[in-house]
Amino acid sequence: MLPSHLNGHSPLARRRPRLSAASPPATGDSDAAAAADAPLAEHDRIYFQSYSHIGIHEAMIKDRVRTDAYRSAIMHHQKFIEGKVVMDVGCGTGILSVFCARAGAKRVYAVEASEMATQAREIVKANNLDDKVIVVHGRVEDVEVEDKIDVIISEWMGYMLLYESMLPSVLFARDKWLKSGGLILPSHATLFMAPITNSERYEGSVDFWSDVYGINMSALVPLAKKFTSEEPSIEIIGGENVLSWPFVVKHIDCYTFKAEELKSITTKYKVSSMMLAPIHGFGLWFEVEFNGPSNPTDNSPSDLNPLDVIHKKRRRGSDDPVVLSTAPEDEPTHWHQTILYFPDPIEVKQDQIIEGSVKVSQSEENPRHHP
């Protein structure tokens, strides 16, 4: 089973179920059974099985930044949701489906591919919402529902936004069921990246081996460098660790984005170091916005100076769309930040230009992964 918690020295190992489903829809038991029994690729089987573990759901729900952002977004768009049909893609325990039902949705299709669908159905019933929330057990790509959908909601984001690639399932649901002018929550997502310095972490993982209880173990330093740099690390850093303004790796508009665009993402960057310090690697984080269909962002963050994006976020008022941020300067979430460490640090001076390119590609063996 994939672990439900990752420490700062662990590689990427798990995140949200892709686009799942959970319980016989109104179209009939035979369709639901067929969806639940549809053959799965091995990577899908392992993935969905991991989301049957309560620890994963506990970590996500206890993340108040995440859960409160979704609840606030639902209430922000309550007038649009009232009396409408909602699809919750990868509903897990069904918490977002319950939020939508309580906000006045006429019907909610809570789609979940893992065995957590069984508990989601019980939770719906325990909250007296089984007349509104239909738990559909199966992948969203395999299920059928009898309605066109007014609202799609999903917590599809993985580590560094794209790890696990659950987004294609949201896009599938959009193209198959969403009405023209429908609402997608979240509506936009932006992946940021910046050079970081973290001497304490590097010394604790690499330099540590030079003197262990008075024993010279420096022979392990090359292995430690290899281990540190060959896999992304999930950990929390602060704004003080970030050496420059971040740059935008990718901006995603969920109303128009195509799944094929995920296969390979390449961007060039050119930033200036804000201090004299060693670069130990690059940090990645993301933000998602919950904009309405008639209220798209005026500018794509990729067209804005990242400083302007940050200032815009800080100026948001109560009437502005809800933003869920995993940036180092914001309150930590269970996503933390994703760090790509170098084997050896690189010294830079204040105002020194750091430039290059970054490529994020979908794994051929497992399309959910972006190594």
Q: Report the catalytic residues.
A: 155, 164
Q: Quick one: CA dihedral 213, 211, 243, 326, positive or negative?
A: negative
CA 46 – CA 114 distance, rounded (Å): 10
Q: Are 35 and 138 in contact (CB under 8 A)?
A: yes
Given the DSSP bridges, would you call strands 247-253 and 233-235 parallel, antiparallel or unpaired? unpaired
β-strand partners of 286: 191
Closest residue by Cα to residue 159 from 339, 343, 367: 339
Q: Are 112 and 20 in contact (CB under 8 A)?
A: yes
Which token pair is 160? Answer: 């560094």
Q: Are 138 and 111 in contact (CB under 8 A)?
A: yes
Measured in whole angstroms, how far is the alpha carbon of residue 100 from the centre of its chain? 20
Q: Cα dist. 35→16, 120, 144 in Å?
A: 20, 17, 8
Give the DSSP H or E segment for 361.
Answer: strand 353-361
Closest residue by Cα to residue 19 from 152, 187, 197: 152
| Helix residue spans in 178-321 (DSSP H) | 199-205, 221-230, 306-314
